Amino acid sequence: MGYRLTKIYTRTGDTGTTSLGDGQRADKDCASIAAYGELDELNSVLGVLLTQDIPQAIRPQLLEIQHLLFDLGGDLCIPGRLSLTLKQVDWLENALDALNDTLPPLREFVIPGGQPAAAHCHVARAVCRRAERSLVTLAKTGSVSPPALAFINRLSDFLFVLARVLARAACGEEPVWQPERADRPAPADSSASRS
Protein backbone atom coordinates (compact mmCIF):
# COMPACT_ATOMS: atom_id res chain seq x y z
CA MET A 1 0.00 0.00 0.00
CA GLY A 2 1.36 3.40 -0.95
CA TYR A 3 1.39 6.52 1.17
CA ARG A 4 -2.04 8.10 1.61
CA LEU A 5 -0.72 11.52 2.65
CA THR A 6 2.53 13.06 1.54
CA LYS A 7 1.64 16.46 2.94
CA ILE A 8 -0.68 17.11 5.88
CA TYR A 9 -2.04 20.49 4.81
CA THR A 10 -3.42 21.06 1.33
CA ARG A 11 -4.97 24.53 1.68
CA THR A 12 -8.04 23.22 -0.20
CA GLY A 13 -10.19 23.56 2.92
CA ASP A 14 -9.27 27.13 3.74
CA THR A 15 -12.57 28.42 2.35
CA GLY A 16 -14.74 26.13 4.51
CA THR A 17 -15.20 23.17 2.17
CA THR A 18 -13.72 19.68 2.14
CA SER A 19 -13.57 16.69 -0.20
CA LEU A 20 -15.89 13.73 0.19
CA GLY A 21 -14.76 10.19 -0.61
CA ASP A 22 -16.10 10.44 -4.16
CA GLY A 23 -14.25 13.71 -4.84
CA GLN A 24 -17.22 16.05 -4.43
CA ARG A 25 -16.72 19.20 -2.36
CA ALA A 26 -18.98 19.86 0.62
CA ASP A 27 -19.31 22.58 3.24
CA LYS A 28 -17.52 21.62 6.44
CA ASP A 29 -20.69 22.25 8.46
CA CYS A 30 -23.01 20.07 6.33
CA ALA A 31 -24.79 17.08 7.86
CA SER A 32 -22.45 14.46 6.42
CA ILE A 33 -19.28 16.19 7.61
CA ALA A 34 -20.83 16.71 11.05
CA ALA A 35 -21.57 12.98 11.22
CA TYR A 36 -18.00 12.06 10.20
CA GLY A 37 -16.65 14.44 12.82
CA GLU A 38 -18.73 12.93 15.58
CA LEU A 39 -17.70 9.40 14.58
CA ASP A 40 -14.08 10.58 14.68
CA GLU A 41 -14.62 12.10 18.13
CA LEU A 42 -16.22 8.85 19.33
CA ASN A 43 -13.30 6.85 17.98
CA SER A 44 -10.88 9.19 19.74
CA VAL A 45 -12.71 8.84 23.06
CA LEU A 46 -12.53 5.06 22.66
CA GLY A 47 -8.79 5.45 22.11
CA VAL A 48 -8.57 7.26 25.45
CA LEU A 49 -10.63 4.51 27.07
CA LEU A 50 -8.12 1.96 25.77
CA THR A 51 -5.35 3.76 27.69
CA GLN A 52 -7.18 3.04 30.94
CA ASP A 53 -6.96 0.03 33.24
CA ILE A 54 -9.57 -2.24 31.65
CA PRO A 55 -9.87 -6.04 31.48
CA GLN A 56 -7.65 -7.56 28.81
CA ALA A 57 -10.62 -9.41 27.27
CA ILE A 58 -12.35 -6.10 26.46
CA ARG A 59 -9.43 -4.60 24.53
CA PRO A 60 -9.88 -6.59 21.28
CA GLN A 61 -13.59 -5.75 21.26
CA LEU A 62 -12.93 -2.02 21.63
CA LEU A 63 -10.24 -2.14 18.96
CA GLU A 64 -12.63 -3.92 16.57
CA ILE A 65 -15.26 -1.27 17.33
CA GLN A 66 -12.72 1.41 16.39
CA HIS A 67 -12.14 -0.35 13.05
CA LEU A 68 -15.89 -0.66 12.50
CA LEU A 69 -16.32 3.08 13.14
CA PHE A 70 -13.74 3.72 10.41
CA ASP A 71 -15.69 1.32 8.18
CA LEU A 72 -18.87 3.25 8.95
CA GLY A 73 -17.17 6.54 8.13
CA GLY A 74 -16.10 5.06 4.78
CA ASP A 75 -19.65 3.87 4.11
CA LEU A 76 -20.95 7.39 4.74
CA CYS A 77 -18.20 9.03 2.71
CA ILE A 78 -18.30 6.89 -0.44
CA PRO A 79 -21.70 6.53 -2.17
CA GLY A 80 -22.63 2.88 -2.65
CA ARG A 81 -20.05 1.52 -0.20
CA LEU A 82 -21.58 -0.82 2.38
CA SER A 83 -19.16 -2.61 4.68
CA LEU A 84 -21.24 -2.36 7.85
CA THR A 85 -24.00 -4.98 7.77
CA LEU A 86 -26.28 -6.82 10.17
CA LYS A 87 -23.38 -9.24 10.76
CA GLN A 88 -21.53 -6.52 12.71
CA VAL A 89 -24.73 -5.57 14.56
CA ASP A 90 -25.17 -9.21 15.61
CA TRP A 91 -21.55 -9.38 16.75
CA LEU A 92 -22.01 -6.29 18.90
CA GLU A 93 -25.29 -7.58 20.35
CA ASN A 94 -23.60 -10.84 21.34
CA ALA A 95 -20.75 -8.96 23.03
CA LEU A 96 -23.26 -6.73 24.81
CA ASP A 97 -25.33 -9.70 26.00
CA ALA A 98 -22.25 -11.46 27.34
CA LEU A 99 -21.28 -8.38 29.39
CA ASN A 100 -24.83 -7.76 30.59
CA ASP A 101 -25.18 -11.37 31.79
CA THR A 102 -22.50 -10.63 34.43
CA LEU A 103 -24.50 -7.76 35.96
CA PRO A 104 -27.37 -7.63 38.43
CA PRO A 105 -30.63 -6.13 37.12
CA LEU A 106 -30.63 -2.36 36.95
CA ARG A 107 -33.06 -0.80 39.42
CA GLU A 108 -31.79 2.80 39.55
CA PHE A 109 -30.38 5.35 37.14
CA VAL A 110 -26.59 5.15 36.97
CA ILE A 111 -24.58 8.33 37.52
CA PRO A 112 -21.53 8.59 35.23
CA GLY A 113 -18.32 8.00 37.16
CA GLY A 114 -17.26 5.32 39.58
CA GLN A 115 -13.63 5.17 38.50
CA PRO A 116 -11.58 6.53 35.55
CA ALA A 117 -12.25 3.77 32.99
CA ALA A 118 -15.98 3.71 33.76
CA ALA A 119 -16.14 7.50 33.57
CA HIS A 120 -14.36 7.50 30.18
CA CYS A 121 -16.82 4.84 29.03
CA HIS A 122 -19.74 7.09 29.98
CA VAL A 123 -18.19 9.95 28.00
CA ALA A 124 -17.88 7.60 25.01
CA ARG A 125 -21.55 6.60 25.46
CA ALA A 126 -22.68 10.24 25.46
CA VAL A 127 -20.58 11.03 22.36
CA CYS A 128 -22.02 7.91 20.71
CA ARG A 129 -25.56 9.17 21.35
CA ARG A 130 -24.65 12.51 19.75
CA ALA A 131 -23.15 10.72 16.75
CA GLU A 132 -26.36 8.70 16.51
CA ARG A 133 -28.42 11.89 16.39
CA SER A 134 -26.26 13.13 13.51
CA LEU A 135 -26.67 9.84 11.67
CA VAL A 136 -30.46 10.02 12.11
CA THR A 137 -30.40 13.51 10.57
CA LEU A 138 -28.24 12.26 7.71
CA ALA A 139 -30.48 9.20 7.21
CA LYS A 140 -33.32 11.52 6.20
CA THR A 141 -31.41 12.08 2.95
CA GLY A 142 -31.01 8.34 2.43
CA SER A 143 -27.27 8.41 3.04
CA VAL A 144 -27.22 6.02 6.02
CA SER A 145 -28.05 2.32 5.90
CA PRO A 146 -30.37 0.68 8.45
CA PRO A 147 -27.50 -1.54 9.72
CA ALA A 148 -25.40 1.58 10.37
CA LEU A 149 -28.17 3.12 12.47
CA ALA A 150 -28.68 -0.15 14.34
CA PHE A 151 -24.94 -0.50 14.98
CA ILE A 152 -24.49 2.99 16.43
CA ASN A 153 -27.61 2.55 18.57
CA ARG A 154 -26.36 -0.77 19.90
CA LEU A 155 -22.90 0.68 20.50
CA SER A 156 -24.21 3.22 23.00
CA ASP A 157 -25.93 0.35 24.84
CA PHE A 158 -22.69 -1.64 24.80
CA LEU A 159 -20.77 1.32 26.24
CA PHE A 160 -23.36 1.81 28.98
CA VAL A 161 -23.15 -1.84 30.02
CA LEU A 162 -19.35 -1.78 29.79
CA ALA A 163 -19.27 1.28 32.08
CA ARG A 164 -21.32 -0.66 34.63
CA VAL A 165 -18.98 -3.66 34.38
CA LEU A 166 -15.89 -1.46 34.79
CA ALA A 167 -17.31 0.43 37.79
CA ARG A 168 -18.31 -2.78 39.56
CA ALA A 169 -14.97 -4.45 38.83
CA ALA A 170 -13.04 -1.53 40.32
CA CYS A 171 -15.36 -0.43 43.16
CA GLY A 172 -17.70 -3.36 43.81
CA GLU A 173 -20.64 -1.11 43.00
CA GLU A 174 -21.65 1.72 40.72
CA PRO A 175 -22.84 5.23 41.56
CA VAL A 176 -26.61 5.55 41.26
CA TRP A 177 -28.95 8.52 41.31
CA GLN A 178 -30.61 9.05 44.67
CA PRO A 179 -33.44 11.54 44.13
CA GLU A 180 -34.55 11.35 47.78
CA ARG A 181 -31.06 11.77 49.29
CA ALA A 182 -31.08 13.26 52.79
CA ASP A 183 -28.30 15.78 52.17
CA ARG A 184 -29.93 17.26 49.06
CA PRO A 185 -29.68 21.08 49.14
CA ALA A 186 -32.98 22.81 49.73
CA PRO A 187 -34.38 24.66 46.72
CA ALA A 188 -33.85 28.39 46.69
CA ASP A 189 -36.74 30.55 47.89
CA SER A 190 -38.41 31.63 44.66
CA SER A 191 -40.08 34.55 46.40
CA ALA A 192 -36.75 36.13 47.30
CA SER A 193 -36.03 39.28 45.33
CA ARG A 194 -33.09 39.38 42.96
CA SER A 195 -30.97 42.45 42.93
12 lies in a domain? no
- Asked if the model's pLDDT at residue 14 lies above 70, the reply is no
Q: Does residue 179 sit within a domain?
A: no
Mean pLDDT across 22-39:
72
Please compute the mean of the pLDDT values over residues 49-55 and round it to a whole number.
Answer: 93
> By C-alpha distance, which of 129, 65, 66 is closest to 96?
65
Beta strands in the chain (DSSP E): 17-19, 25-27
- Categorize the per-residue pLDDT at 1 as very low, low, confident or very high, splitting at 50, 70 and 90: very low
- pLDDT surpasses 90 at 124: yes
Provide Rg for the chain, Cα atoms: 20
Whether residue 15 is contained in a domain is answered as no
CA of residue 13 relative to chain centroid, distance = 26
Domain assignment present for residue 187? The answer is no
CATH number at residue 137: 1.20.1200.10
- For residue 40, what are the CA distances in angstroms to 114, 130, 137, 165? 26, 12, 17, 25
- The boundaries of the domain holding residue 154 are 27-171
- pLDDT at residue 162 in the model: 95
Tell me the C-alpha to C-alpha distance, in Å, between residue 24 and each of 17, 18, 27, 35: 10, 8, 10, 17
Sorted by sequence, the CB contacts under 8 Å of residue 22 that are 6+ apart come out as 77, 78, 79
State percent of the chain over pLDDT 70.
76
Give tens-digit pLDDT for 90-109.
999 999 999 999 988 878 77
Number of domains making up the chain: 1
Mean of the pLDDT values across residues 184-192? Answer: 65
Q: Closest by alpha carbon to 86, among 148, 156, 157, 158? A: 148
Gap between the Cα atoms of 40 and 34, Å rounded: 10
Instruction: Kindly report the average pLDDT of the chain as a whole number.
Output: 82
53 occurs within a structural domain: yes
Look at residue 18 in the predicted model and tell me its pLDDT.
57
CA distance 60 to 131: 22
pLDDT of residue 189: 64
> What DSSP string runs through 43-66?
HHHHHHHTTS---GGGHHHHHHHH
| Residue 192 placed within a domain | no
Does the residue 16 lie in any domain?
Answer: no
- Segment 136-157 shows an average pLDDT of 91
Q: Is the residue at 100 inside a domain?
A: yes
- Which pLDDT score is estimated for 133? 95
Tell me the HSE value of 25 on the side-chain side, using a 13 A CA sphere.
6
